[in-house]
Amino acid sequence: MESGTAAFLQPATVNRLDLKRSEPIQSLEPILEVEGIHKSYRANRVLRDINLTLPPGVVGLLGPNGSGKSTLIKAILGLVSVDAGRGRILQFRWPEQTRALRDQIGYLPEDDCYLQGLQGIESIQMMARLSGLHRTEALRRSHEVADLCDLDQERYRNVETYSTGMRQKLKFAQALVHDPQWLILDEPTTGLDPSQREQFLSRIDTLAKEKGKSILLSTHILHDVQRVCDHVVILAKGEIRLVDTLARLQQPTQAGLQVGVISDVERFMVALTHCGIQSRRTGACELQVLGDGPEIVKRIWSTSYETGIPIQRIDQARNSLEQAFLDAIRDSSRVTMGNPVAIDNKASLPEYR
Amino acid sequence: MPILDVGYRNWQGHRTPRWTRAAIIASTGIHLVWQGTWLKRVLLFMVVPAAVAAFIVGTFEQTIERPEARAALKGAFRSPVVQQAANARDIDLDTVLDQPETLRHFSWSYVLFGLLRYPQSIGMIVLIGLVAPRLISYDLRSRGYLLYLSRPLTPFEYVLGKAGIVYFLLFMMSAVPALLVYVVGLFLSTDPWAISHTWDLPLRILAAALVLILPTTAVALALSSLTQESRFAGFAWFAIWVLGSIAFRILWAAEQARNGGFGSRGRRIRMEEMEGFSSWMLLSPYDTLGNVQQQIFGLVPKEAAAWSPWVLLAVVSIVGYTIAYRRVAGMLKA
């Protein structure tokens, strides 16, 4: 296998940023700049030397279960104390000013926490009042965000009668009611059906793009990240493994094409190999082809004609976020604390024919 | 497709001071507990003793105005308990019964103390047993504390807010009825000097209510914070009062028997005899509170007045609030 071929499917090396040395992702003022965060539960080190700078916009916080995502979020909010670490979040010193910081953050917890006996609208109003809105204004604002979150007449029902999806909507409304600068959403789409999830992501998209909200979306659903996020942070075993823009993450290091065929992918790939085109299967009816340009496209069409396998789609190749995620969380022994992640992807890449 | 959809609008406005936010926890909690049917029943039931006390005070005021009724009053003031209490305040009953208005302060004090000591205290135990156990334990179980503490609240304010729920209920249950009895007494008195004779009683009522409210709330919150199962906290709450009271009575009776205290009166233990201070009383929260309230109303013989119940209540309060605070703050460190 040629080294260039292997690099084709690797995320760009620039993806593995050393935050201390690399250029800022955006020229805008970072929303979060923290360094040296350590957190242990007795002998179990949950966060290890977290150095992180987040730009405004929607940032996806990815990581497998137990990677420390929720702990990092709680540490940001001051809901868990850290062993070490300092920095600046929004305009506040962290961790000294976490209390003032919480006025500017809307938090949607992963846990299914609610106060039994309260109506939905009362729950939202209470959270608004805890964030400093006057009673009447809190009620008015609560109805406004309940409308936004599609909580219709259910808002007058007690929260313990809510379905999982409605509770997620309620928690989102509670997080949003005091108009925070930054929203931290911990697994917000868990328990939502596809339609509700799409609506939820659409809401996040609107808030970010039209209302200028910054959002940290912690999830392990890669589709959600691809759908709404500008940037991606991957956390594994308490370490930051990758920070980059989604666009760069999905950009291959070498040009390629994504080809969709109606059927018989394997035979099509063999035929392409005979024409001198390297490819690899990426889905049930999809393959990636190394190289692009008119000549390659012409040869692909010829192969389709010769094999009788119709082509459904040809597009510029993209690295899948799933692959980047798997690459980033793999082989933790090679990760050096506080240094750029050095992951050898060759061992896991599929062979090109 | 909605006819009108304003979408999301940014909000700008004046925020309330941070120190007021514990009150929001309290008001929400009061709103929640008020939904309980049993709570309303207990509170309604607690009006009855207050009405009886008001009737007694009113009757006293009307009686002292009528010479023919004074004879009946003299009879009522002959009981050993009243004699003992009167002696504690250096009151010569035989002399003053000829001028009953001089007994006004003593009589009102005794009625108000009786109201706080018996029906209101017992009602308090039931009421707090219904309300307090789930105040913190439920939040710990449902992780509802994350909702509160993700806002600009400290664990102290959270505990204060939760305590505010109990404070409010106990105040409404103890101080308010007693103050109403006092006001009714003033209205029913034909003597314009009644207010000058009894001006200190509202302060004593507030002090007695405070002594009732602070330590009991501390214990209730501490128990609630120690478990995620509110039924355990409820069980512990009732066990403390019941077992403490039983232990005190058994040990007190045993001590009396050893000292030959029942020799002349047989073996029947009278409640009034137990009003005096005994070190065993400290085992019983109910009797310790009663003793302190008795001191506040000036109804304890001087030689029987003791500091140890005060010290015990102070220690219990400090320990209780500390436990509740540390449990909640501990959640943030975990």
Which has the higher per-residue pLDDT, B317 or A3? B317
Judge whether B91 lies within some domain. Answer: yes
Give the rounded distance of the alpha carbon of A137 from its chain centre. Answer: 34
Distance from CA of A56 to the nearest CA of B (A): 17
Tell which residue, B34, B222, B6, B18, has the closest CA to residue A143.
Answer: B6
CATH of domain A7-104+181-249: 3.40.50.300
Q: Do B150 and A141 touch (CB under 8 A)?
A: no
pLDDT-derived band at B304 (thresholds 50, 70, 90) equals low
Q: Do A130 and B18 touch (CB under 8 A)?
A: no
Compute the distance between CA of residue A93 and CA of residue A55 in angstroms, rounded to an integer: 17
Q: Is B35 within 8 Å of chain A by CB?
A: yes
Residues on chain A bordering chain B, Cβ-to-Cβ distance under 8 angstroms: 41, 77-81, 99-100, 102-103, 105, 107, 109, 111-118, 122, 126-127, 129-134, 137, 141, 144-145, 147-148, 174, 176, 178-179, 206-207, 210-211
Judge whether B13 lies within some domain. Answer: no
Domain A256-316 grouped into CATH 3.30.70: yes
> Beta-carbon neighbour count of residue B220 at 10 Å?
29
- Using the predicted structure, report yes or no on whether residue B224 has a pLDDT greater than 60: yes
SS3 readout for A275-333: CCCCEEEEECCEEEEECCCHHHHHHHHHHHHHHCCCEEEEEECCCCHHHHHHHHHCCHH
Number of domains in chain B: 1
Tell me the average pLDDT across B172-176.
Answer: 92
Judge whether B10 lies within some domain. Answer: no
pLDDT at B102: 75
Compute the distance between CA of residue B166 and CA of residue B162 in angstroms, rounded to an integer: 7
Judge whether B246 lies within some domain. Answer: yes
Per residue in B240-261, pLDDT (tens digit) is: 999 999 999 899 888 888 877 6
Least CB–CB distance from B8: residue in A116, A117, A207: A207
pLDDT at B256: 81
User: Percentage of chain B surpassing pLDDT 90?
Assistant: 47
3-class SS at B126? helix
- Answer for the pair A238, A67: CB distance below 8 angstroms, yes or no: yes
pLDDT at A89: 94
Q: Do A144 and B35 touch (CB under 8 A)?
A: no
pLDDT-derived band at B208 (thresholds 50, 70, 90) equals very high
pLDDT at B4: 63
Distance from CA of A324 to the nearest CA of B (A): 32
Tell me the average pLDDT across B33-48.
Answer: 86
- Answer for the pair B225, B321: CB distance below 8 angstroms, yes or no: no
C-alpha angle with apex B291: B285 to B296, nearest 5 degrees? 125
pLDDT at B73: 67
pLDDT at A29: 84
pLDDT at B147: 86
pLDDT at B285: 93
pLDDT at B334: 60
Which has the higher per-residue pLDDT, A286 or B314? B314
Domain ranges of chain A: 7-104+181-249, 256-316
Judge whether B6 lies within some domain. Answer: no
Domain, as residue range, for B168:
20-333
Name the burial class of residue A228, with classes exposed (0-12), middle (13-18) and buried (19+) by CB atoms within 10 angstroms of its CB: buried
| Burial profile B179-214: b = 16 or more Cβ within 10 angstroms, e = fewer | bebbebbbebbeeeebeebbeebeebbbbbbbbbbb
pLDDT at A20: 35
Q: Is B37 within 8 Å of chain A by CB?
A: no
A40 contacts in B (CB within 8 Å)?
none
pLDDT at A142: 95
Tell me the average pLDDT across B224-228.
Answer: 94
Least CB–CB distance from A103: residue in B32, B142, B152: B152
Nearest residue in chain B measured CA to CA from A133: B15
Compute the distance between CA of residue A214 and CA of residue A105 in angstroms, rounded to an integer: 10
Tell which residue, A53, A96, A54, A90, has the closest CA to residue A78.
Answer: A96
Mutate to test the interface with A, among B151, B228, B326 (most CBs of A within 10 A): B151
Compute the distance between CA of residue A35 and CA of residue B117 in angstroms, rounded to an integer: 59
Tell which residue, A168, A177, A174, has the closest CA to residue A219.
Answer: A168
In order of A116, A173, B21, B164, B327, the CA distances from B161 in angstroms are: 17, 23, 8, 5, 15
In order of A67, A125, A132, the CA distances from A135 in angstroms are: 40, 8, 9
- Answer for the pair A154, A120: CB distance below 8 angstroms, yes or no: yes
**Contacts across the A-B interface (CB distance below 8 Å):** 109
Q: Do B32 and A115 touch (CB under 8 A)?
A: yes
Give me the residues of B, 147-176, that contact A with CB < 8 A. Answer: 147-154
User: Percentage of chain B surpassing pLDDT 70?
Assistant: 89
Compute the distance between CA of residue B182 and CA of residue B58 in angstroms, rounded to an integer: 10
Distance from CA of B218 to the nearest CA of A (A): 22
Nearest residue in chain A measured CA to CA from B155: A79
Q: Phi, psi (5° rounding) for residue A3?
A: -65, -35
Least CB–CB distance from B142: residue in A99, A113, A144: A113
Please count the CA atoms within 13 angstroms of the CA of B317 that sit on its side-chain side. Answer: 14
Compute the distance between CA of residue B214 and CA of residue B167 in angstroms, rounded to an integer: 8
Distance from CA of A332 to the nearest CA of B (A): 26
Distance from CA of B334 to the nearest CA of A (A): 6
Output the CA torsion sign for A112, A118, A124, A126.
negative
Strand order in the sheet with A84-89: A44-54, A32-41, A84-89, A92-94
Judge whether B325 lies within some domain. Answer: yes
Q: Do A102 and B152 touch (CB under 8 A)?
A: yes
Distance from CA of B229 to the nearest CA of A (A): 15
B152 contacts in A (CB within 8 Å)?
99-100, 102-103, 130-132
Mutate to test the interface with B, among A113, A145, A149, A210 (most CBs of B within 10 A): A113
What the block records as the tokens of B186 is 């003033």
Q: Is B39 within 8 Å of chain A by CB?
A: no
Judge whether B4 lies within some domain. Answer: no
Tell which residue, A175, A219, A213, A174, has the closest CA to residue A197.
Answer: A219
pLDDT at B225: 95
Q: Do A133 and B16 touch (CB under 8 A)?
A: yes
pLDDT at B101: 74
Least CB–CB distance from B152: residue in A100, A111, A133: A100
The rounded average pLDDT for each run of 10 residues, N- to C-terminus, in chain A (353 residues) is 39 36 51 93 89 93 90 92 92 90 92 87 95 94 92 92 92 94 92 88 91 91 90 92 86 80 90 89 85 87 92 81 78 39 31 35
Query: Where are the alpha helices (H) located in B153-267, listed in sequence order?
Result: 155-170, 176-188, 194-198, 201-225, 230-258
Mutate to test the interface with A, among B35, B150, B158, B230 (most CBs of A within 10 A): B150
B16 contacts in A (CB within 8 Å)?
129, 132-134
Mutate to test the interface with B, among A130, A133, A204, A209 (most CBs of B within 10 A): A130
- Looking at the DSSP bridge assignments, the partners of residue A106 are A183
Q: Do A109 and B143 touch (CB under 8 A)?
A: yes
3-class SS at B228? coil
Least CB–CB distance from B16: residue in A116, A126, A132: A132
> Beta-carbon neighbour count of residue A176 at 10 Å?
25
A151 contacts in B (CB within 8 Å)?
none
3-class SS at A47? strand
DSSP B120: I
Per residue in B86-128, pLDDT (tens digit) is: 777 677 777 766 777 777 888 899 999 999 989 999 999 999 9
